[in-house]
Structure 1
Amino acid sequence: MKVSECMTRDVRVANPQETLQAAARTMADIDAGFLPVGENDRLIGIVTDRDIAIRAVGCGYASDAKIGDVMSREVRYCYADDDVSDILDMMAEQQIRRMPVVDGDKRLVGVVSIGDLVKDETRQTGEALCEIARPSSMHSQVI
């Protein structure tokens, strides 16, 4: 199965100049803990609810601070025509729960999450989820 068959296509993209409060409000509105950040039609980062809590609030940023100040700039992404099993392996290895999906021109076309992939309920999905949930310092947010 290809990523395009299970990804979420309706994705809100935040601007790096938007405030942390606006990002949190958007996350609440769409019931997600993740927003791709784009500028000039290009994906430039990711902001998560954890980024807001740990990198922003934990470091004393005000709610009117900019998303660009706390977003993760290292973006791991996949292509819409990638095979789901390859992406599951990548998500497990990198301990990533969600991933932007881009087309051949690297334009954002969707997001795929472990929840999207669980619909297939394969053994590989379970193994990936175990690896993603494994304690690790890979994505440490220690201040």
Structure 2
Amino acid sequence: MRVAEAMTRDVRIANPDESIIEAAKMMADCDCGVLPVGENDRLVGMITDRDIVVRALAQGKPGDTRIRDVMSSDVKYCLEEDDVDDVARNMSDLQIRRLPVLDKNKRLTGIVSLGDIATTDQSQSAAQALHGISEQSTQHSGSGHKLH
């Protein structure tokens, strides 16, 4: 099964110049813990609720801190055409629970999460990925190398 068949397409995109309070409000509105950050029609980062807490609030930064100051800019991603099993294995190896999904032109088209994969007939892949994420080190990996 391809990622395009499992991913969530309705994704809110934050602007890197918005404040972390605006990001938190968007997360509350869409009941999510992560937002892709886009600028000039390109994915430039990801911000999570954990980024806001650990990289901003715990460091004493104010609510008007710009998203670009706390987001992960070295974004891991997958492509719509990628195989769900392969992506789930990569998510396990990289210890991440969700990935932005790009089309062949590197434009954001959605997000795929372990929950998305779990609701498909590939649920064993999601279970194995979650096991790998939970079993490996507990170090936060909000940024790092790309899958492609």
The TM-score range, normalised by the shorter chain, is: over 0.9
CA RMSD of aligned residues (A): 1.4
Distance 1:108 1:140, change over 3 A: closer
CA distance in 1, matches of 2:124, 2:115: 14
User: What amino acid sits opposite 2:71 in the alignment?
Assistant: M
Alignment check: 8 A CA contact 2:117 2:125 kept = no
- Corresponding residue pairs, total: 141
**Runs of 4 or more above 6 Å deviation:** none
Question: Percent identity between the aligned chains?
Answer: 52
Kindly indicate whether the alpha-carbon contact (under 8 Å) linking 2:94 and 2:141 is maintained by their aligned counterparts in 1.
no
Q: Distance in 2 between matches of 1:126 and 1:18?
A: 36
8 Å CA contact retained: 2:95, 2:136: no
* 1:9 corresponding residue in structure 2: 9
Q: Supply the AA of the counterpart residue of 1:78.
A: C
Counterparts of 2:136 and 2:28 in 1: how far apart (Å)? 26
Displacement of 1:124: 2.5
Question: Do the aligned partners of residues 102 and 133 (structure 1) sit closer, same or farther apart at CA in structure 2, a change above 3 Å counting?
Answer: same
3-state secondary structure, aligned to 1:130: helix
Q: Post-superposition shift, 1:140?
A: 6.0
In structure 1, what residue type is equivalent to 2:62? A
When normalised by structure 2's length, the TM-score is 0.91
Q: Which runs of 5+ in 2 are unaligned?
A: 143-148
Q: Secondary structure at the match of 1:117?
A: helix
Name structure 1 gaps, 5 residues minimum.
Answer: none
